[in-house]
Amino acid sequence: MILPETLESALQDNTKLVSIMFANNEIGTIQPIKYLASICKKKNIKFHTDAVQAVGHIKIDVKDLGIDMLSASAHKFNGPKGIGFLYVKKGTNLPAFVHGGAQEKNKRGGTENIASIMGMAKALEINTNNLESNQAKLKNMQKKLIDNILLIEETILTGHPNLRTPGSASFCFKGIEGESILLNLDALGICASSGSACTSGSLDPSHVLLAIGLSHEVAHGSLRITLGVNNTMKDVDYIISVLPPIVKKLRAMSPIWNK
């Protein structure tokens, strides 16, 4: 989590804008946005949050949180791919991003993708209308998954233990590679990842995991599982049943596992 004192020490006299991720896309940690935004407000600095991982999954009141700008992407809440939105608080002065037309209040010229915009709006409406029930379901599955996976020895839960997005679960398994776990899970019909989709083509360990203090060796053993509203407790039970044997098998083959 970003500490308030860390943010304050980073601000300078010429700072005009602060942008902080609402929820991390790899480890799910939710930042104390309201407190961080209030620090900026005291210094008359505009506050933007990348809420791509949070919109449609967490209740967000931009006025209560003190957010000046917020960006979101439709595919994260079951909407069409390739469309998103930017919330801008009234009175915030933004220059035009694309010139040549009066669309989007002279901020972004060009014909709007109406079909995707309407699809995004409907998807967000559906998600927000069912937000509380979806959260309750996801948190129950998430807790059972995390509690059972942590029974595997030398396993680390990455991200905040409680303040994390519903359904997100990320771990590091000492002594083995995350990619090997993924191959074994895929063979059993389980879709997971070893980091963010943005860095899926990289073999380097996650910069997020390194930033929270994990070593390169431990960070290489990362596994990220994200549960959705279409998952069931039966799915969680299946993961719990097959993952420990996979970890045990890979550790038996690992040259760096000494136990």
Long-range contact pairs involving 156-160 (C-beta distance under 8 Å, separation at least 24) = 156/214, 156/218, 158/26, 158/27, 158/209, 158/212, 158/214, 158/222, 159/24, 159/26, 159/27, 159/28, 159/29, 160/1, 160/27, 160/28, 160/29, 160/30
CA dist 135 to 18, 32, 50, 116, 197, Å?
29, 19, 20, 26, 23
Token pair listed for 7: 């943010």
pLDDT in tens, the chain (259 residues): 999 999 999 999 999 999 999 999 999 999 999 999 999 999 999 999 999 999 999 999 999 999 999 999 999 999 999 999 999 999 998 899 899 888 888 888 899 999 999 999 999 999 999 999 999 999 999 999 999 999 999 999 999 999 999 999 999 999 999 999 999 999 999 999 986 555 455 567 889 999 999 999 999 999 999 999 999 999 999 999 999 999 999 999 988 887 6
85, β-bridge pairs = 72
Say if residues 56 and 123 touch (Cβ distance below 8 Å).
Answer: yes
Ordered domains of the chain (ranges, CATH): 4-129 (3.40.640.10), 131-253 (3.90.1150.10)
Question: Residues 40, 172, 191, 198: which is the catalytic one?
Answer: 198
Told to judge if 198 belongs to the known catalytic residues of this protein, a careful annotator would answer yes
SS3 161: coil
Q: What is the pLDDT of residue 210?
A: 92
pLDDT attached to residue 163: 95
Helix or strand holding residue 172 (H, E): strand 168-173
Say what the pLDDT of residue 142 is: 97
- Please, where are the H alpha helices in 110-170? 114-129, 131-149
